Amino acid sequence: MLPEFDINAELRLRQLTQDDFPALVEYLNDEDIFRNTRSIPHPYTLKDAQDFWEKLRQRSQEAGGAPHHWVIEHREHGFTGTISVFLREGIDSHSDEIGYVMGRPWRGRGYATAAVKALTAMQFETRPNLIRLSAWVYSYNPASKRVLEKAGYVVEGFCRALLLKNGQPVDAWLLARLRND
């Protein structure tokens, strides 16, 4: 069971459940989300939500465990987006990655920034061995780079042709925040 907590008077981070499938389909079926993330498909269907859930279930039984996913829940609007921590193992276990997506109607309201700030603080507070949180941001996604910078992450580098999207090489910024930053 993941910790759940209030970010502020409006927003809360809570565990993702199967009841969120309709919201996942409604909001993740978005070409911008596909372009800016590594593995979210487009179009995004109920079957994708179900496959994602099954993969989480399988990974939770493996040694490293499954990634941790929270819903960014608004007091009135309900599900607005998700935020995740991708756990590493062994000699990399001090260094995890975060990722997040906001539903289109809820962007530009500061919700992603509030969620990144709160989750970053909570991770460092509750996980004594964690030293570093990082994120890759594709070169054409200034909004996400801004979110991380507002949350105290610093640019550490720029990686050319980090991955292929639709067969095209994509460059990306690497940003990170250390426990002592």
Ligand X SMILES: CC(C)(COP(=O)(O)OP(=O)(O)OC[C@H]1O[C@@H](n2cnc3c(N)ncnc32)[C@H](O)[C@@H]1OP(=O)(O)O)[C@@H](O)C(=O)NCCC(=O)NCCS
Give alpha helix (H) positions in the chain. Answer: 21-28, 31-36, 46-60, 111-126, 142-150
**Closer by beta carbon to ligand X, 60 or else 163:** 163
Structure tokens at 95: 């260094």
**Closer by beta carbon to ligand X, 61 or else 164:** 164
Question: Is-contact 73 11, C-beta < 8 A?
Answer: yes
The distance of closest approach from Cβ of residue 80 to ligand X in the complex, given in angstroms and rounded to an integer, is 8
The distance of closest approach from Cβ of residue 73 to ligand X in the complex, given in angstroms and rounded to an integer, is 14
H/E stretch holding 9 reads none
The distance of closest approach from Cβ of residue 12 to ligand X in the complex, given in angstroms and rounded to an integer, is 15
**Closer by beta carbon to ligand X, 87 or else 135:** 135
Q: What is the DSSP string of 46-77?
A: HHHHHHHHHHHHHHHTSTT-PPEEEEEEETTT
H/E stretch holding 99 reads strand 95-102
Can you give the binding site for ligand X, defined by CB under 6 A? 32-33, 36-37, 99-102, 107-113, 135, 137, 141-144, 146-147
**Closer by beta carbon to ligand X, 57 or else 75:** 75
The distance of closest approach from Cβ of residue 17 to ligand X in the complex, given in angstroms and rounded to an integer, is 21
